[in-house]
Structure 1
Amino acid sequence: MNRSLNIEAQGLLPTKPDNTYFYPWLLFVVVAFYYWINHESWHSHPAKSTPVPPITPTHPATSLKPRPILDPDNLQDYPLLSKWDISHNVTVFRLGLPQPTDVLGLPSGQHIALAFTDPETGKVVARSYTPISTDDDRGYFDVLVKLYPDGLMSKHLQALQVGDLVKARGPKGAMVYKPGMCERIGMIAGGSGVTPMLQIIKAVLAQRPTDTTQIDLIYANRTFDDIVLKDVLDEMAEKDPGFKVHYVLSQAPENWTGSIGHVTKAMIKERLPPAQAGTKIMLCGPAGMQDSMKIYLEELGFDKARLVPKRDDQVFCF
């Protein structure tokens, strides 16, 4: 007999199993074998060494790179995020963009059109506005609107509630401001016609000191309460010596330090740059005011304003 295999005869195992120890050990072996078969990855790849998978963003378009949203050919819907009054007849409407990093994509000097379908006539009503926000503002844009009691667009916008959709398209317009396009800009604005001026002023001041363009603005209104964004204009003029603003009121309060009456040819000559190379004049306001300013400017030696304005015109009418 092979003694190396006769482990029973050598007394290494009992001839009869001891139930006190045998069955618990057998149960342990079976359970261990079961876990080894079904959880092999568990013992070969400890949990602490397993890398955490990267989180996939739910909105891949939300990135640090801004995405321009405007479409010049098609009306798009923008939700109304909020609105607030800045005077008795002027309201700012904040409209949302699809993603928080999106920008409107409006070149400085251009504008957009807001539109809606009149339920009574079925016709599309559209009006042009220049946002007072810039592409430094992401995820939204602000539109300042002067509200008229009988205006179709005014009534439509006034009735909007937060969450309602506003249709818009753009960019529109012949003016696209570029740094260095002129040395001095003279501006004449009336009422809400200050909005395209504000857009260009912001563009120039944002490029300091690279953009050295000097800007002089004459801003006319009926009453002090009609002045739009005076605090914004005053702050910019205080911080930048290359921008000056002069206010004109037809009905002025006591202790008023600006001009009283209407914008005159003498005022233009005193406050705005002269007619020479490197100078551009921009106009925006009521039609009657613009007509008078064109006559004054021509008499002061500026080029005659065209009916259809071009970007390079010496006198440009928004």
Structure 2
Amino acid sequence: MTHSRSLSHHRVTLSDGTQFDVAPGQTLLQAALSAGLEWPNGCRVGLCGSCRCKITSGQVKALTDFSDVISQADLTQGHVLACRCQLESAIDVSSDELYGRLAPDDADIDATITHIDWVTPLVQLIEVELDHPHPHGYAGGQYTRLEVPGVVPPRCFSFANACRGDGRLRFLVRVFPGGRLGEWLSQEDRCGQRLRVGRPLGHFLFRDHHRPALFFAGGTGLAPILAMLEELASLPAAQHPQVRVVFAARDQQHLFHRRFLEPIVNRWAIGTSIDFVSVLSREPRPSSWKGLRGHFFEHLALLTAGFENADTYLCGPPGLVDAMKFYLVKRGFDRTRISADRFLPSTS
């Protein structure tokens, strides 16, 4: 099957013989979807890894750094993110590996909102119950797309609890102007309302419980970290790693991490260290706050003490995540052991 071609376009050939063309300025994913192909995808901004594919010949230009999503070994073998690359020549792509990820049971699942709670003036906790659990479950650190059909288009949110197989999910939703789901939730009591939950997406996953883990979270970026920690807490005590969670907020009224982290700490193995630290960037003076002020990178020596060889996880707004990654690498942290999940605001 061949799709139409015009001058200055680059041709893509899949190993099953399918061909299509990519126009100047188009990403590989945009061209594939425009050609009517069923190409796996999720966030479409380079965060989830769902659209990854293996280039077997030809050249592409990466629009962003793939290393947060694709391992160095896979990068060396030609794996790229289709949503974040443009073609510099004709390319060949392995279709066997690509279509193998198109599972027939990955359909959205209907669900009901069972609980809503304001945890800060700008963040809501919503609890959802699926009509039936997802057949494959999900891993801590992954996210999904929530949709209120006809009202709120699909928006991406990380799971804020570990998968228990009972179809009960938690999400943290930041409310801000233009944030469709947050605004809709704020208008009236939405308990009992129906919504649609997509398949699990993303590769922001816990790596190895044999190594210490250092987490940095800003705002609702705490959600995937909570899911990871709940998963770890359910493991045998001997598998609990040394953990530190550093949470950033504007001021004391925006601190909400203790409510969720303290129950996890109480389940941790005796004798294995787990602690959490807060850093406030805009706490007024004077105030009752006795903790750290400013930004993460201003206190790196203190925050990373004892975790110099840890796997590090960064989650929050892109500016915060990118700055932290820069300063951690500058401080000597191994870039390949830093995982990042950037939360991009979804607006109308």
Does the alignment reach a TM-score above 0.5?
yes
Which one of the candidate residues 122, 134, 141 is aligned to 2:162?
134
User: Could you tell me the percent identity over the aligned residues?
Assistant: 22
CA shift in 2, pair 1:137/1:255, >3 Å: farther
Shift of 1:161: 2.6
Shift of 1:148: 1.0
Residues of 1 paired with 2:233 and 2:191: CA distance? 33
Which one of the candidate residues 201, 205, 211 is aligned to 1:176?
205
CA shift in 2, pair 1:71/1:227, >3 Å: farther
2:342 is the alignment partner of 1:314: no
Shift of 1:102: 8.2
Q: Over the residues paired in the alignment, what is the CA RMSD in angstroms?
A: 2.9
Q: Quote the residue 2:320 is aligned against.
A: 289
Shift of 1:112: 1.4
Residues of 2 paired with 1:112 and 1:183: CA distance? 28
Contact 1:90 1:147 in 2 (8 A): yes
Unaligned residue ranges in structure 2 (runs of 5+): 1-102, 342-348
Shift of 1:92: 1.6
* More strand by percentage: 2
CA shift in 2, pair 1:302/1:179, >3 Å: closer
Unaligned residue ranges in structure 1 (runs of 5+): 1-69, 305-312
Residues of 1 paired with 2:241 and 2:105: CA distance? 29
Larger CA Rg, structure 1 vs 2? 1
**Does the residue aligned with 1:81 lie in a helix, a strand or coil?**
strand
Q: Quote the residue 2:114 is aligned against.
A: 81
Which one of the candidate residues 174, 186, 189 is aligned to 2:217?
189
CA shift in 2, pair 1:249/1:72, >3 Å: farther
Shift of 1:275: 4.3
Q: Quote the residue 2:124 is aligned against.
A: 91
2:268 is the alignment partner of 1:268: no
Shift of 1:297: 0.8
Which one of the candidate residues 134, 145, 152 is aligned to 1:113?
145
Q: Quote the residue 1:152 is aligned against.
A: 180
Contact 1:186 1:280 in 2 (8 A): yes
**Does the residue aligned with 2:166 lie in a helix, a strand or coil?**
coil
Could you tell me which amino acid in structure 2 is paired with residue 134 of structure 1? Answer: A
Q: Quote the residue 1:225 is aligned against.
A: 253
Residues of 1 paired with 2:261 and 2:232: CA distance? 13
Q: Quote the residue 1:248 is aligned against.
A: 279
Q: Quote the residue 2:228 is aligned against.
A: 200
Shift of 1:238: 5.9
Q: Quote the residue 1:55 is aligned against.
A: none
**Does the residue aligned with 1:141 lie in a helix, a strand or coil?**
strand
**Does the residue aligned with 1:233 lie in a helix, a strand or coil?**
helix
Residues of 2 paired with 1:250 and 1:139: CA distance? 37
**Does the residue aligned with 1:252 lie in a helix, a strand or coil?**
coil
Could you tell me which amino acid in structure 1 is paired with residue 202 of structure 2? Answer: G
